Amino acid sequence: MKRKHLGVVLVLAVSLIGGPTVVAAAQLPAPVLSTSANAKLAPAKAVKRTTAKLNLRKSARISSASLVLVPKNTTLTILKVSGKWHQVKYKSKTGWVSGDYLTKHSTDKAKVYNYTKGYTTLRARASPSSSAIISVHRRSKVEVISKSGSWVKVKASGKTGFVPSSALVRLNPSVVNRWVNGKRKVYVKASSSSKSLGTLSSSTKVEWFRTSGSWQQVKTATGVGWVPSKYLSTKAIKPSVPDIKPASPKPPTVRPPELNYSTPRWTTNSVNVRIDAGTNFKSHGVIPAGEKVLQARSAGGWANVKTSKGAGWVTEQYLSEVEYKPVEVQYRWASGNINLRAGNSTAYKVLGVVPSGEKVTILESNNGWARVISSKGIGWMSETLLSKNMIARLQPDTLAVMDAVRARFQTLISSIGGIRSGSVGHSAGKAADIMIKDYRNPINVAKGNEVAQFLINNRSSLGVSYLIWQDKIWLGPAKGWEEYSKSGRYGQQFSGNWNDTTLHMDHIHVETYGDSGNRAPLFN
């Protein structure tokens, strides 16, 4: 008889497998006499999930036989409910499980969000020729719905459409700021004839969105608008501090009429003529270096003189007793990257390389060489390599393109051209020509395609505006690649002179915005 009772206890103890506690015989609830009488239909499509491994039982009581073991985290549809017992169907078997080990199940998938790397267009279909729904600013948070090839279906600002996958990143890009140079208006459109959103004070910090031509779109306290690029700086501008006027300026000293302005002096620098002896006194004006003045007397390092701006006081340190003729300062511009040498010939060592477009000060000339002051110090440069006219420097975006291409495709390229005449982009330092080795070789053409795609994929980081390659022109993701010479719209300056270079068969022409790239990490 004792053996029989022991068997009952063991059966009861293992009837709930994987549950939080072991059910002993003394803890058994009273048997449910009639499950059909007490059961209620579950709400339509009620779904719950198991929180532990448990038995699917034949009837709604713990002593009922187990039909099958249901694993943890299994989703079940509830058919009926009787007290804490729930009737469900699992693996073609219908039975009862304890509601103590069920929890509500959510069928909603976790939403996935991305961010826009730059200004992009939400389109109706996954195609660059599809109609535009809305424009989405840089750093906008969008909900990712699905992916289709190189396009992503997203929800942005309540609208659903498609954007290129290259326009999205998982983490929100860092904010790019600009600072307003002077007191400037913000316009609704990239035109000074459009409506003004308001006026920004000098040194105001704004968030940059994109560059279009000579305008930049920014986010301000009054909204998103446009400011001319020339009025925005990439570096913080310190607010101007007005001159502090003395609280109680000393009244002008009345000089006796018998003062004799007779001693000649010459100014050795541009100098203020002040109403009295001191820098805290108002200036009549500025007289240039080399002007002859007549001095009457001196006081505390100041001279009372008669000048072209009237009688007043100037510091004596800028006066000479002998006639002073100022030397005309001459400037030149480096026509390329030029060696700065220790002497006036190529036999002397190189002190550094002065970059193209840098302005240098001429100190003297000797045998076709000029001694100059430059960013690399004082040294000699060949005068044949110096221009009397200002030459543009390579812009930051162009330099970034050159560095990125050299780092990844050095064995493919023969050279990269930058500043030259004959092209608005090149002469402004906003363009680069990437020359391809053995460019008629199909293998190198394919590699050139890789270079072009690399630049397109990283256009926001590098500030790429457009490309020309293999007689095709790429003007942005909205248009893709188009015919170049055959279009009748592009390259008209080469009409009648088409060759491998003008057709851009031997090189990739990269036009940049100048300084609008966000310098985000590059995609290889």
pLDDT classification of 235: cutoffs 50, 70, 90: confident
- Measured in whole angstroms, the distance separating CA 515 from the mean position of its chain's CA atoms is 10
Q: Hey, what CATH topology would domain 263-320 get?
A: SH3 type barrels. (2.30.30)
For 397, list phi and psi in degrees, rounded to 5.
-65, -40
- Cβ atoms of 194 and 187 closer than 8 Å: yes
* Cα 105 to Cα 94: distance, rounded to the nearest angstrom: 20
How much is the pTM?
Answer: 0.35
CATH number of this structure's domain 330-387: 2.30.30.40
Query: 331 pairs with which residues across the strands?
Result: 361
Classify domain 2-104 at the CATH superfamily level. Answer: SH3 Domains (2.30.30.40)
Over residues 355-411, the pLDDT tens digits come to 878 889 988 889 999 999 998 989 999 999 998 888 778 899 999 999 999 999 999
CA atoms within 13 A on the CB side of 490: 19
What is the average per-residue pLDDT within 439-447? 96
The pLDDT, as a whole number, for residue 33 is 36
What does the DSSP 8-state code read for residue 75? E
Q: Which two tokens stand for residue 157?
A: 């600002």
Question: What pLDDT does residue 146 have?
Answer: 92
Q: Which CATH architecture has domain 177-233?
A: Roll (2.30)
Q: Does domain 112-169 have CATH number 2.30.30.40?
A: yes
Residues carrying CATH 2.30.30.40, the chain: 2-104, 112-169, 177-233, 263-320, 330-387
pLDDT digits (tens, 9 = 90+) for 8-66: 333 333 333 334 333 333 333 333 333 444 566 666 567 888 989 999 999 999 889 99
What confidence tier does 273 reach under pLDDT thresholds 50, 70, 90?
very high
Q: Alpha-carbon torsion 376, 380, 384, 390, what sign?
A: positive
